[in-house]
Structure 1
């Protein structure tokens, strides 16, 4: 058995989740999201591409997955024998429903992650049909909310992941030159991350250049770089599925006056946002601080992304946790929370965009960036 945390850590997490369940009048919980399952059990695989579920009652639990996943479950989790199904001869949804009955939850109130890409509409319809006496309630945020404040061990993994991302950014920035393609740079980033020890990230390295830099949230294409191009790079280091995101912008050769002007403003806005991420601050505080700077150049309307979100354990296709640093989010920042600060800008009518962001930790002494890279425009 290989686990990134001690057995008491997992047992404590399960106890905390059960306390939340009781506080929300849930008799049971059915989880399908791989990050939630991993955080509670250690299970780490791509088995979530097929129906799976961790079913939890007040005093028992059972993990349901396909037979292919058995070796990984036994090696990478503390779970007792899982309930395995053979996809050639068994119906996965019927097996999950059978497990709910076995745990005595077929006439109970059961929480389920309705906001989950792992719970297909067809699966959800069939579960309700097979378990007509279950009272289902939305528990999409139950486990994620419990994960927002990280332990010292979790933060340690994110620090390692951030160091790997820093290393990869060094390598990518050094490789930027006229004639190289976005896909080649993305491959260089992936190779550097792997050499540093990073696991595969929930989102592959993103590289956009020239006019494509205004896309900001696009994957690398086949475009080759030329002098004067703006180049945006984003990726994450990963340790035991804990992510640390890093994004920076470079220019090949000399930047135009406008690019330099916008980049300087974005640098100050990023640093203002990080400085505002103090313990006790309302979640939107970094966004407000950022916008106050960007307003100097009428750049707030050029914002193309929320300024940040909590992150930790993640699997493809995404790495967001539920707290978002935007107006309307009622969270308050607290020591042990980790989140991105990324006030990205898109100016497609001017032919460029800028990415600037990283993982930030809220500590008792204030905010701490987990990257050693500065926030200015890199000229290569």
Structure 2
């Protein structure tokens, strides 16, 4: 077996999840999201493109993992599971196999949690699963396991710290390559190569690089556009160790920035650091957002915010890396030591022809918040 944690760690995770199930009145749990399956078992594959399910009952036995025959060797090598239930995609209906597994665990007349927010449970498959198991009382348990993951162990934090070091290394490589004539795709490739050289695994989202007027496109991917002097360049990617992500975002300019770009970047730098300082233990989840906006308001930039200030993250697979805690008004979480999350007061100013990306992965500690990155939050000048 190739596992990033000890067997007792997985036993303890399963025990905690079963305790949550009991507290929520669940007799069983059916999970399909790859990050949840990985956190509980070690299974790691892109095979979640086809129907899969980890069926957990309230007893003390091994959960049963349903997956394609193609994935069976990986289950045995990369997880602690001993007896997966595999189906032949050419001859068997995977939803029927999942339903049979639920029945096998005595859950066909029980209250069972399911991840209704999962992209791995397509509407058609969900309709069929309910039709095959009419006696099940299904309850939305989309956040049951992710909530248990919010406070990271020392080992998990160590993996994220390593991932952040890889991201810093890659960002410095990208900074060194920024010059007139280089393309966004070339810079994204440099980031990917540097991450790979540092030992990073594939990330849930590929490196994003946008420049010039495209720098206002916060979630656009790299294009073949080439850089010119004066261009703002926004860069975002993540280092990954054992699926634990550390996200890093920075902004550079080719040559000297305009006074307006420098003014906005300086304000974002101060807003980022104010937000991080507000992330201490006991702070309500919206506190960093409030601290950020207090600074951005000095230049009337709050209205230029393009998304939430941040969100918790850890284990992730494509297509995204968010965990359930979001640092916005209305989120009732309270920050605690061991929680890791992004802080990213990104701005878009399409009418002014540029955007600013600035973001770190941050750890809440007993003594306050600490960024995993060692890179400063200032605008990088590639001159």
TM-score range normalised by the length of the shorter chain: over 0.9
| Number of the residue aligned with 2:123 | 121
| Number of the residue aligned with 1:20 | 20
Specify the SS of the correspondent of 1:238.
strand
1:260-289 alpha-carbon deviations (Å, 9 max, x no partner): 000000100000000000000000000000
Distance (Å, rounded) in 2 between the aligned partners of 1:47 and 1:306? 31
Question: 1:218 aligned to 2:217?
Answer: no
Please state how far the C-alpha of 1:113 moved relative to its aligned partner: 0.2
Distance (Å, rounded) in 2 between the aligned partners of 1:93 and 1:217? 34
| Number of the residue aligned with 1:175 | 177
Distance (Å, rounded) in 1 between the aligned partners of 2:356 and 2:265? 7
1:338-374 alpha-carbon deviations (Å, 9 max, x no partner): 0000000000000000000010000001000000100
Distance (Å, rounded) in 1 between the aligned partners of 2:218 and 2:128? 39
Distance (Å, rounded) in 2 between the aligned partners of 1:276 and 1:58? 40
Question: 1:147 aligned to 2:160?
Answer: no
| Number of the residue aligned with 1:354 | 356
| Number of the residue aligned with 1:239 | 241
| Number of the residue aligned with 1:339 | 341
Spell out the pairing of 1:125-274 with structure 2 (5 A cutoff). 125-274=127-276
**Which of 287, 309, 312 is the matching residue for 1:310?**
312
Distance (Å, rounded) in 2 between the aligned partners of 1:216 and 1:135? 41
Please state how far the C-alpha of 1:217 moved relative to its aligned partner: 1.4
The root-mean-square deviation of aligned C-alpha atoms, in Å, is 0.4
Q: Which runs of 5+ in 2 are unaligned?
A: none
| Number of the residue aligned with 2:29 | 29
Distance (Å, rounded) in 2 between the aligned partners of 1:357 and 1:127? 41
Structure 1: 4+ residue segments shifted above 3 A = none
Specify the SS of the correspondent of 1:247.
strand
Please state how far the C-alpha of 1:79 moved relative to its aligned partner: 0.5
Q: Which runs of 5+ in 1 are unaligned?
A: none
| Number of the residue aligned with 2:55 | 55
| Number of the residue aligned with 1:39 | 39
Please state how far the C-alpha of 1:154 moved relative to its aligned partner: 0.2
Specify the SS of the correspondent of 1:26.
coil
| Number of the residue aligned with 1:103 | 105
Distance (Å, rounded) in 2 between the aligned partners of 1:32 and 1:55? 9
Distance (Å, rounded) in 2 between the aligned partners of 1:17 and 1:192? 37
1:296-329 alpha-carbon deviations (Å, 9 max, x no partner): 0000000001100000000000000000000000
1:1-33 alpha-carbon deviations (Å, 9 max, x no partner): 110000000000000000000000000000000
1:120-147 alpha-carbon deviations (Å, 9 max, x no partner): 0011000000000000000000000000
Of the structure 1 ranges 103-112 and 52-61, higher mean CA displacement relative to structure 2 is found in 52-61
Specify the SS of the correspondent of 2:303.
helix
| Number of the residue aligned with 1:330 | 332
So what's the TM-score if we normalise by structure 2?
A: 0.99
1:187-239 alpha-carbon deviations (Å, 9 max, x no partner): 11000000000000000000000000001211101110000000000000000
Distance (Å, rounded) in 1 between the aligned partners of 2:357 and 2:116? 32
Distance (Å, rounded) in 1 between the aligned partners of 2:58 and 2:28? 7
Distance (Å, rounded) in 1 between the aligned partners of 2:282 and 2:195? 34
Please state how far the C-alpha of 1:84 moved relative to its aligned partner: 0.4
Aligned pair count?
Answer: 380
Distance (Å, rounded) in 2 between the aligned partners of 1:290 and 1:186? 29
Specify the SS of the correspondent of 1:30.
strand
Please state how far the C-alpha of 1:80 moved relative to its aligned partner: 1.4
